[in-house]
Amino acid sequence: MAVRLKALADPVRLRLLREIGDRPGGESCVCDLLDVADVSQPTLSHHLKILRTAGLVAGDRRGTWVYYRLIPEAVIEVAELLADIATVSGVAEECR
């Protein structure tokens, strides 16, 4: 989980994940992501590799382009972890 959270800690990767998830069918061509990220192609590839390694996206080559899709289960696991952390149980004791 730490690898996933670290991958999401970068603003560019977070924006890419959101963009991929917002596309019809939850997938996007790398050619479309170049405009969104406002980074060079090698830098974009680096960010996508980190998201792939973290298990947040998967990529499929179709001809000369790679199409990336969200892995919903991975994103849900991150959301559930954060929801668990945010849940407050009981009352904090006063410091003495």
Span 49-80, pLDDT tens digits = 999 999 999 999 999 999 999 999 999 999 99
What is the domain extent for residue 42?
Answer: 2-81
- Per-residue pLDDT for 93 more than 70? no
pLDDT of residue 78: 95
Q: Does residue 94 lie within any of the structural domains?
A: no
Q: Residue 34 corresponds to which tokens in the numbers above?
A: 């170049």
Please check the confidence at residue 95 and state whether its pLDDT lies above 60. Answer: no
pLDDT at 31 over 80: yes
CB of 92 closer than 8 Å to CB of 12: no
Number of structural domains (the chain) is 1
**Amino acid present at 73:** E
Is residue 39 predicted with pLDDT exceeding 70? yes
The CATH number of residue 67's host domain is 1.10.10.10
Q: Could you write out the DSSP letters of every residue in 47-75?
A: HHHHHHHTTSEEEEEETTEEEEEE-HHHH
Crossing angle for the helix pair 41-53 and 30-37, to the nearest 10 degrees:
110
pLDDT band at 90 (very low <50, low <70, confident <90, very high): low
